Amino acid sequence: MRKIAAVIMALSACAVCAFSVSAENSDKVVDNASLLTDSQEQELEDKLSELADRYDCDVVIVTADTIDGKTPMAYADDYFDYNDYGIGSGRDGVLFLLSMEDRDWWISTTGEGIDIFTDYGIQFIGGEMLPDLSDGNYYEAFCTFAELSDDFMKQAQDGRPYDTNNKYKTAGDKIKIVLISAGIGIVAALIVTLSLKGQLKSVKPNNQAKDYIRQGSMKLTSSRDVFLYKNVDRTVRQSSGSSGSGGSSTHTSSSGASHGGGGGKF
Using only the alpha carbons of the chain, give its radius of gyration. 31
Interface contacts to another protein, rule CB under 8 A = 165-167, 169, 174, 177-178, 180-182, 184-186, 188-190, 192-193, 196-197, 199-214, 217-237
Q: Contact, 262 vs 122, CB < 8 A?
A: yes
Question: With respect to another protein, which residue has the nearer C-beta, 39 or 199?
Answer: 199
Alpha helices in 56-137 (DSSP H): 72-82, 112-116, 119-135
Minimum distance from CB of 154 to another protein (Å)? Answer: 16
Q: Which long-range contacts (CB under 8 A, 24 or more apart) does 80-85 make?
A: 80/108, 80/110, 80/259, 81/253, 81/254, 81/255, 81/257, 82/255, 83/25, 84/19, 84/20, 84/23, 84/24, 84/25, 85/24, 85/25, 85/58, 85/60, 85/110
Residue 25, Cβ neighbours under 10 Å: how many? Answer: 18
Minimum distance from CB of 55 to another protein (Å)? Answer: 23
Q: Cα(first)–Cα(last) distance of the chain, in Å?
A: 47
Minimum distance from CB of 164 to another protein (Å)? Answer: 10
Question: With respect to another protein, which residue has the nearer C-beta, 17 or 218?
Answer: 218
Minimum distance from CB of 245 to another protein (Å)? Answer: 14
Minimum distance from CB of 144 to another protein (Å)? Answer: 22
Minimum distance from CB of 50 to another protein (Å)? Answer: 28
* Strand-pair category, 29-31 with 93-99: unpaired
User: Longest Cα pair distance anywhere in the chain, in angstroms?
Assistant: 121
Q: Contact, 114 vs 80, CB < 8 A?
A: no
Question: With respect to another protein, which residue has the nearer C-beta, 21 or 212?
Answer: 212
Give the list of residues 6+ apart from residue 177 with CB closer than 8 angstroms, or none: 169
